[in-house]
Structure 1
Amino acid sequence: MTSIKSLEARIAQLEDELKEEKHKTKSARQKISQMSSEVVDSNPYSRLMALKRMGIVENYEKIRDYTVAVVGIGGVGSVAAEMLTRCGIGKLLLFDYDKVELANMNRLFFQPHQAGLSKVEAAERTLREINPDVEFETYNYNITTLENFKHFMERLCNGSLQGDLPIDLVLCCVDNYEARMAINTACNEVGQQWFESGVSENAVSGHIQYINPGETACFACAPPLVVASNIDEKTLKKDGVCAASLPTTMGIVSALLVQNTLKLLLKFGKVSHYVGYNAMEDFFPTMSMKPNQECDDRYCVKQQLLYQERVVTTCEQGPVSDATDEVVHEENDWGISLVDETSEEVLHAVDGGIVPDLVEGVRLAYTKPVTNTQEGESIEETEQSLEELMAQMKGI
């Protein structure tokens, strides 16, 4: 009897501890979700909110409203998910069907004690500890099978943080063309913008590519040779040969991916349509590709027509105001100020040979000689040759 009572008391104690832990988690979640800009050591978002105070981002708090799907929780996807979690993204959908192996320990994020767990389960556990305020959905399946593909599309259309609404962005971090084509097909059909990313098998190059159906080339518009030639990717891999991976290359590609994700969602800077990375030369090629009007994906062609209609509608609404913002500057001890070089005052002064009022110590590089056409005065012409003139200048 004593042992039973002791067991019941222990169960009650554990229940109380669980309630207390849930209360602490809820309190921590409420504290983080406030996204306070207060600069204190206890505020996990104070450094991020500094982007708003410095004028980089107009409203950083909106990061809490966005939902992003990460497909492929490997060397690139796991790090991208961690970066977004630390940035305070509202919700993450994680898709993968692989397990954590000790062979993955040369990469970032995963830890040896997680070996044997599914990658999505291990990722969720780690990410919840980093930021308990982010919501997660995890799916341990292969998106290329028919049944799973249908469910994948359903979550793209109804997995938003706000309810049964489309998500905001898909990050493709898979390592095979079949999965990339599946994501391309799904995003073309529902008009979902997404980023494709990858690292080469020799681990010394990588890339990211922004795809907005109808506006930019989709993955099928300019497919790799493997896809264009309908070659089975498995036949290209040699038995006993394992692809190399470097945490450095994967970390760089992940950073480029999330950096452009933040620029796209929070509307600051310029979103790159394509950025490559060559580790051997530290070379970052960039380019932008228009969609192929004869793309094999019929949904891509449909999205192109819809995009063109939107462009025409925008043009019919009239030109965008070309009003420019007033040049502003911070006060400083040297009296230096920014001047709009296109202002009429400065252009007239330079064109007319008049020196405008400038801060002490600052002068124009040159002024154009005055020509008074009203009094018939003009610069005198000369019959001297160019060589003679140059000789006179050297003599001076």
Structure 2
Amino acid sequence: SRLMALKRMGIVKDYEKIRTFTVAVVGVGGVGSVTAEMLTRCGIGKLLLFDYDKVELANMNRLFFQPHQAGLSKVQAAEHTLRNINPDVQFEVHNYNITTVDNFQHFMDRISYGGLEEGKPVDLVLSCVDNFEARMAINTACNELGQTWMESGVSENAVSGHIQLIIPGESACFACAPPLVVAANIDEKTLKREGVCAASLPTTMGVVAGILVQNVLKFLLNFGTVSYYLGYNAMQDFFPTMAMKPNPQCNDKNCRKQQEEYKEKRAVQPKQIVVEQEEEIVHEDNDWGIELVSEVSEEELKAASGPLPDLPQGITVAYTIPNMEENAVAEVTVSESEESLEELMAKMKNM
């Protein structure tokens, strides 16, 4: 009833439609597990969960998982918890690494045919992984299939994160603007510092998961403004936003192919003609017979205006210099006189 209140308040036209959507969540860790829980509580139709890791006691500083689940696969533990929260949601879990050759093909098959209605594609793929290799695997699969997806991440120091909507051909894919590890041909595994593990804050991960699911709901249910990129910096409480166009020289051939297909679709779409509507005059007619009348007639207005200069088209004068009235008092000039003030005063008395 509280979710349906969004419809009664005019935020969402048809919230019940949420039950018809299928979302695939890749990576059920700090961000992915909370994302899956939020979608389950929102009443999503079906969730596909992909992860190969196990629950450890070291994960307990994060949200969602509990100590008694240590040793279970993350997807198995997540499914058990989520079914208890909302048994109406359908779940499909896969405990494997999507970056291997065999698993990658199965991953693509499930994206293509694992929808709520078997044989239909999923509606959205969410990347909640913590490494570049898995992100590139998701990017490759989605570019090949033309599948819309959202990427998310939290920084190694745990005080910043981001989400990004990627529509193949329309927006930049993950390979369009490669990070340093790709641009410099560096193996990301060599960047790990000895004796230093990545920091983890449940607050930052909760914020990123929250804005990710919020963006998912806006995208699926068509309300509000969907963010193409939204960052989060906890140190300054800064939320940068932007949109990135695809790179025509992207290294991913399928991305370039999707770009061409998108251009062809745009070319055949009819151009929208913008019709300028005249503003309605408010209160011209009213129940009280009140009428605004100028006290200055047209003739008086013209007489009070001076000549208009010859100006180019599009330029007008702010005001004009009024012509001097014919009956205006002429200026009186006083000629200089050599007489003193006393002599002039005496003349005036005699007059």
Identity of aligned residues (%): 69
Pairing 1:275-354 to 2, within 5 Å after superposition? 275-315=230-270, 318-319=271-272, 343-346=279-282
Confirm whether residue 205 of structure 1 aligns to residue 160 of structure 2.
Answer: yes
Query: Secondary structure of the residue that 1:47 maps to in structure 2?
Result: coil
The correspondence for 1:250, drawn from 205, 215, 219, is 205
What is the TM-score of this pair, normalised by structure 1? 0.73
- Matched to 1:319, the amino acid is Q
The correspondence for 2:144, drawn from 186, 189, 198, is 189
Confirm whether residue 260 of structure 1 aligns to residue 215 of structure 2.
Answer: yes
The correspondence for 1:77, drawn from 32, 42, 45, is 32
1:169 corresponding residue in structure 2 = 124
| Greater CA drift, 369-378 or 100-109 | 369-378
- Matched to 1:210, the amino acid is L
1:377 corresponding residue in structure 2 = 302
Pairing 1:4-23 to 2, within 5 Å after superposition? none
Q: Distance in 2 between matches of 1:154 and 1:305?
A: 24
Q: Distance in 2 between matches of 1:209 and 1:229?
A: 23
1:53 corresponding residue in structure 2 = 8
| More RCO (CA 8 Å, sep 6+) | 2
Query: Secondary structure of the residue that 1:104 maps to in structure 2?
Result: helix
Q: Distance in 2 between matches of 1:187 and 1:128?
A: 28
Partner deviation per Cα, 1:250-292 (whole Å, 9 max, x = no partner): 0000001000000000000110000000000000000000000
Q: Distance in 2 between matches of 1:323 and 1:86?
A: 45
Runs (5+) with no aligned partner, structure 2: 306-319, 323-351
Structure with more helix by fraction: 1
1:29 corresponding residue in structure 2 = none
Q: 1:291 to 1:376 in 2, by over 3 A?
A: same
Contact 1:177–1:227 at 8 Å: present in 2 too?
Answer: no
Q: Distance in 1 between matches of 2:215 and 2:18?
A: 14
Query: Secondary structure of the residue that 2:4 maps to in structure 1?
Result: helix
Count how many residue pairs are aligned between Structure 1 and Structure 2: 305
Q: Distance in 2 between matches of 1:376 and 1:85?
A: 72
2:70 corresponding residue in structure 1 = 115
Q: 1:375 to 1:264 in 2, by over 3 A?
A: same
Q: Distance in 1 between matches of 2:231 and 2:69?
A: 32
Confirm whether residue 97 of structure 1 aligns to residue 52 of structure 2.
Answer: yes
- Give the deviation of 1:294 after TM superposition: 0.4
- Matched to 1:304, the amino acid is Q
Q: Distance in 1 between matches of 2:207 and 2:260?
A: 35
2:87 corresponding residue in structure 1 = 132
Q: 1:382 to 1:269 in 2, by over 3 A?
A: same
- Give the deviation of 1:321 after TM superposition: 7.8
Query: Secondary structure of the residue that 2:281 maps to in structure 1?
Result: helix
Contact 1:371–1:377 at 8 Å: present in 2 too?
Answer: no
Which one has the largest radius of gyration? Answer: 2
Q: Distance in 2 between matches of 1:370 and 1:300?
A: 69
Query: Secondary structure of the residue that 1:216 maps to in structure 2?
Result: coil
Runs (5+) with no aligned partner, structure 1: 1-45, 325-341, 350-354, 360-366, 384-396
- Matched to 2:77, the amino acid is A
Query: Secondary structure of the residue that 1:198 maps to in structure 2?
Result: strand
Q: Distance in 2 between matches of 1:153 and 1:202?
A: 32
What is the TM-score of this pair, normalised by structure 2? 0.82
Confirm whether residue 153 of structure 1 aligns to residue 108 of structure 2.
Answer: yes
Q: 1:373 to 1:218 in 2, by over 3 A?
A: farther
1:332 corresponding residue in structure 2 = none
CA RMSD of aligned residues (A): 2.4
Query: Secondary structure of the residue that 2:235 maps to in structure 1?
Result: coil
- Give the deviation of 1:323 after TM superposition: 9.9
